[in-house]
Every structure is written in C-alpha cells, then in structure tokens.
Amino acid sequence: VQWQLLRHLQYYLFGHLQYAVRNDMLGLLQRGLRGRLQQCVRDFVQRLLRGWAKLSLLHTEPSQPPLFTSRNRSWAEGRAKTVTFILTHACQLRCTYCYIHDKSPDARMHPRIARATIDYLLSHRSHFPEPSIVLDFIGGEPLLAVDLMEEISDYFRFETWRRGHPWFENFRLCVTTNGLLYDSPRVQSFIERNKRHLSITVTIDGVREKHDACRVYPTGKGSYDDTLRVIPLWLSQFPNESTKVTVAHNDLPWLCDSVLHLWNLGIRIVNLNTVFEDVWLEGDDLIYEEQLRRLADAYIAQPRYHDRICSVFSDAIGKPLDPQYDNKNWCGAGKMLAVECNGDFYPCIRFAPFSLANRTYSAIGNCFDGVDFNRLRPFLGLDRISQSSQECIECSVASGCAWCQGHNYDAATRDTVFERAVYGCGMHKARVRANEYLRRRWVEERA
C-alpha cells in the first residue's frame, strides 16, 4: 500500500511539475511578473493539496461550506447547441422586472417557421457540429403554445431519425414557465410523452410577499397561489429541477425568507439572479448583503439545508481576474441561437425586438436564408477585456460579476456590444462580502 501511495504521489508530483513548466513559472519570475507568479503558485499549491486530499493523505473536515463547491451542472455542459424558440409573446403575467416590453397576444410562431428552422439546423451539419442540442422553449409563456411545442419536438425527432442525424438521441427539451398551466391535461400529456428528454423550470420567486410584489396578473393580482399549487406536482415529476428567483429593488427585504421557503418546499437548487437593469438605489446593496448574511446564518444553523444549493454562494466569486488568462466572455450570446416568431434569428433572446427597449438590433439571419456568420463574429470573438472599462479590468473582486450582452447593447451609449453595463456593481460587491461572511462563519463554527 505504501509503495502504491508513493507511486501515486510520484505521478501527482510529476503532473504538478508539468503544470509549473507549462505555466512558465521560472520565466515569469525572471520577467518579474510577481502578481501572475503568485497566482500560479497559489494554483499550484491548491492543486497539490487537492491531489493529496484525493489520496486521503490529508483527511480533514471540509474547510468551506458544501454550498460553495456544489454546482448546478447543465445537461451536456458546453457541448450542446442551444436553440431558443420564442413560441409566443403572450403571457398571463405582467412581472414588474420582466425585460419583455411587448407581450402582444397575436405574436405566435407558425409551425411552418419552426419546421423551416429545424430543417435549416439539420441540413447544415458543418455549421452546427455540436454533438447534442438543447431545444429551449420560451415566450412569453411557452405553455400557452404547448401544441406547437409538441409539433416541434415530434418534427425534430422524425427528421433526425430520417436523416440519421446524431442529435436523434442527443437532445433535450427545456421549458421555462410560470407554472400557471402546468397541471392542465394538455401540458401533462406533453410531459408524459417527452419526459425522458424534458426539463421544466417553474419560476417561483419565494414567499408570498416577494412573489406577489412582482409576479402579477394584468389586473395587479399576485400569482403566488396559482404557482404554488403546481409545485408539488412539478417536484414529483422533476425532483432535481431548479427554480429561478429574480431579485429586483422592491422585493429585496424578502430575499432570505424566500430562499428558505423554496428550500423548505423541497426545491433543492435555487438560482438567484439580480436584474441587470438600472433599477438599484443607494442602500440596496446593504439590504442585499444583510439578507444574504441572514441566509448564511440560517444555512449554518440548520444542517438540513446542507444539501441545498443557492447560486448566489460560490467559491469562485470575488477574486481578481488575470487579464490574459481569465479573459472569457461571461455571456453565451452568439453561441446559442434564438428564433423569433417570424423566423428571424438573433444571438440570444435578449436581442429580439421585444426585449430591447432603447435600440433595435437587426436579425443575424432567418430560418429560410440561414445565419449570416459575419454577424456572429463579434459575439464569438468577444472577451472580458474588450468590453470592460479599466476599473472592471482591475477590479479586485471581478470573478463572478455577471453581465448580459443584450442588456449591455440596449444600455450602451453607442450601437455596439463592446460596452459593458455596470449597474449591478454594488450588488456584486455586496454578494462577495456575504460570501466572505459565510466562509468565515463556517470556519468559526467548525473550530
């Protein structure tokens, strides 16, 4: 056993030595790039410790809450092409934070458009070489067009089978819904037929006060009761699904209670996002931080929450980013494809006309003529540095700071995607402080 351990250790050390050589540590030292070198050494030591931990050479209590390291991994992460079908603009609700400003009930995708899109995708394999595909149905409210959804999935299956396309088995249908129609027979029949490939997210914002503050009918009535009604059925059918909680200015005070409420309902993964728009007022960051601290306290105090996930807590956020090595674009716009009701293609739903309030973005193609790949190039080539201000580039807590390319474009001073909106800067910093608080509390509790 000792020999085996030594042998493993040798492999690990050799691997780490290779890592050091690859990162040119000596070269960095010679060139005096102290910051980068420190980061390299830190990475090196972390890798080494992780390696030893794997070998059980160091058996210790987890030094940070499991919440930090748990990840909500998406299906075929990074290897699937995501195609978003905007089935309809209509929606039963008028959520106050919704970025869609035109919920026209007449705008609905024609089946001919959907079929043409699928034909285009399947007949241009060289343009879409991904091994799998995610067909994402969105609206408006996609369940208002469940017939069309069914037609699309049937046509997709048939065509992939007929063409012998590798996506025949490697596909996923994703639906994000407000849940109001979830228990209708038509929707249940759709779920039954497609369950093996289906993923449904029902959005519920948390406690009644928070949910009803934002997610309201056109009459102003809250939708909490109607959504809550379907949650048990949804969880029984999709027990590992997550929900999305959107945080805006006027519902901040109920944030902690809302996440705990959702965990108590049995929703294991809560993805919590602050809106990107310019809605934050002075002092909102302090309320946000206080709410997250309360959440951290509750999490530490109640071991039953230790298998729950809330995306706001992560060990990856709040660190400086290297301009050269950590330079990826945050947003996936351009790598996905959004199809408008009329068949026009956009780099993401946030570039569709009904999402943009201040600008218009011309389509990057349509289902009949295909994608103009030149229009996609700015998105595929975008990185963090080319769109960030100097302050963001040098920010000491840059990691995890999110942005939306569509909103950036809408809020930019010029007609460009190379300008990053930073309305959420204060909220991100509050989040980082809360994360630090959770980390510290966790260590104190363990000690």
Rounded to a whole number of angstroms, the minimum distance from the CB of residue 435 to another protein is 30
Stretch that binds another protein, among 69-77, 123-131, 296-304, 397-405 (CB under 8 A): 123-131
Instruction: For another protein, give the closer residue by CB, 11 or 373.
Output: 373
Binding mask 316-355 for another protein (x = CB under 8 A): ----------------------------------------
Instruction: For another protein, give the closer residue by CB, 142 or 347.
Output: 347
The DSSP line for 307-331 is T-EETT--TTSS----TTTS---S-
Rounded to a whole number of angstroms, the minimum distance from the CB of residue 98 to another protein is 26
* CA 150, 243, 417, 127 torsion-angle sign: negative
Rounded to a whole number of angstroms, the minimum distance from the CB of residue 265 to another protein is 41
> What are 445's two structure tokens?
């509790």
Confirm if 243 and 267 have CB atoms less than 8 A apart: yes
Stretch that binds another protein, among 51-59, 153-161, 248-256, 376-384 (CB under 8 A): 376-384
Confirm if 406 and 351 have CB atoms less than 8 A apart: yes
Residue selected from 73, 196, 304, 414 as contacting another protein according to rule CB under 8 A: 414
Instruction: For another protein, give the closer residue by CB, 18 or 386.
Output: 386
Strands 365-366 and 370-371 turn out to be antiparallel
123 binds another protein (CB under 8 A): no
Rounded to a whole number of angstroms, the minimum distance from the CB of residue 346 to another protein is 12
Instruction: For another protein, give the closer residue by CB, 80 or 317.
Output: 80
User: ∠ CA 394-413-95 to the nearest 5 degrees?
Assistant: 95
Question: If you count DSSP H runs as helices and E runs as strands, how many of each does the chain have, helices first?
Answer: 16, 11
Instruction: For another protein, give the closer residue by CB, 87 or 404.
Output: 404
Residue selected from 126, 219, 236, 360 as contacting another protein according to rule CB under 8 A: 126
129 binds another protein (CB under 8 A): yes
Region of residue 206 (phi > 0: left; psi between -120 and 50: alpha; otherwise: beta):
left
370 binds another protein (CB under 8 A): no
304 binds another protein (CB under 8 A): no
374 binds another protein (CB under 8 A): yes
List, in order, residues 6 or more apart from 271 with CB less than 8 Å away: 72, 242, 243, 244, 245, 311
Residue selected from 62, 357, 381, 446 as contacting another protein according to rule CB under 8 A: 381
Task: Using DSSP, state whether 91 is helix, strand or coil.
Answer: coil
Residue selected from 382, 421, 422, 430 as contacting another protein according to rule CB under 8 A: 382
* CA 133, 134, 140, 141 torsion-angle sign: positive
Instruction: For another protein, give the closer residue by CB, 100 or 417.
Output: 417
Stretch that binds another protein, among 22-30, 81-89, 126-134, 275-283 (CB under 8 A): 126-134
> What are 213's two structure tokens?
């503050």
Q: Where are the beta strands (DSSP E) in 182-221?
A: 198-202
Residue ranges of alpha helices (H) inside 313-446 are 373-381, 384-387, 390-393, 405-411, 425-446
Site residues for another protein per CB under 8 A: 126-127, 129, 362, 373-375, 377-378, 380-383, 385-386, 414, 416-419
